[in-house]
Amino acid sequence: MGKYGIGINRFHLLKKLAGEMYPLNEVGLDPSNKWRYCDIPVVKYNKHMLAVFEPGWNTGLDETMSAFTGQEGDKPEDIPHAMFVERKPEPRGAELEDCADAQCGCIFGLEINEGAAEMAKKEYVNEYGGTAACSLRLSKHLHHSWRAWGGDSWFAGVREVEVGLSFGLYFYGDMKTNTVRYPTTELINRVGPSSGDWEVMTSTVAGG
């Protein structure tokens, strides 16, 4: 039942739903799609959530690991691209980027990380770069709704703030990994030396 376990009733329910969700043959599956055996639940989940769930004003971007210890490959029992993220409770498997309602915690958008080469072909990448493009795809139906759009240090950057504004979203996040054009030196010079010291700074960005 997995490292942390699930109840027997949930196991039987998931088993039943899996049988209804996956086709018994490859009719209708795109042979050029390496994830054709894996992405059906994600596609159906996103479609379902779009129809039944309306997120509140505060949304959040994050990533999730779906544990998998099998082989990489193109067979039904394989995974096309496995990732290893040491800090995760289950470090090996498929990474999914997700968008959730920050108030109730409900995830309403998922995207499989298919690997750098495949992700570079996705929508918005050429115009805005990979990170902002991922965020835009996950929140596509929220564009120009002027919701808050938060993310951790992987998602955060000055460019993401600017792109968010151009799509009618207010971005906030930790500027730790992507610090391009972020006033890191000025911030260090203005805060105190003790843990918990803070400083309020304002800035005007393009489109703001």
CA quadruple 84, 4, 11, 50: dihedral, nearest 10: -60
pLDDT at 194 over 50: yes
Q: What is d(CA 9, CA 44) in angstroms, rounded to the nearest whole number? A: 22
Residue-wise pLDDT for 15-71, tens only, equals 777 666 666 567 777 888 888 888 888 988 899 999 999 999 999 999 988 888 788
Q: Name the pTM for this structure.
A: 0.80
pLDDT value of residue 86: 84
* CB distance 138 to 155 below 8 Å: no
DSSP state of 141: G
* CB distance 81 to 55 below 8 Å: no
**For helices 130-138 and 158-166, angle between their N-to-C axes, nearest 10 degrees:** 40
The beta-strand segments (E) located in the chain are 58-67, 83-84, 92-101, 107-112, 148-151, 170-173
Give the whole-number percent of the chain exceeding pLDDT 90. 38
pLDDT band at 1 (very low <50, low <70, confident <90, very high): very low
Q: What is d(CA 64, CA 88) in angstroms, rounded to the nearest whole number? A: 9
Residue-wise pLDDT for 158-184, tens only, equals 889 999 999 999 999 888 888 888 888
Q: What is d(CA 17, CA 41) in angstroms, rounded to the nearest whole number? A: 10
Residue-wise pLDDT for 103-144, tens only, equals 999 999 999 999 999 999 999 999 999 999 999 999 999 999
Please give the span between the terminal C-alpha atoms of the chain, in angstroms, as a whole number.
Answer: 50
E strand or H helix at 20: helix 8-21
* CB distance 125 to 116 below 8 Å: no
Q: Kindly report the average pLDDT of the chain as a whole number.
A: 86
pLDDT value of residue 41: 84
Q: What is d(CA 16, CA 26) in angstroms, rounded to the nearest whole number? A: 20
pLDDT band at 195 (very low <50, low <70, confident <90, very high): confident
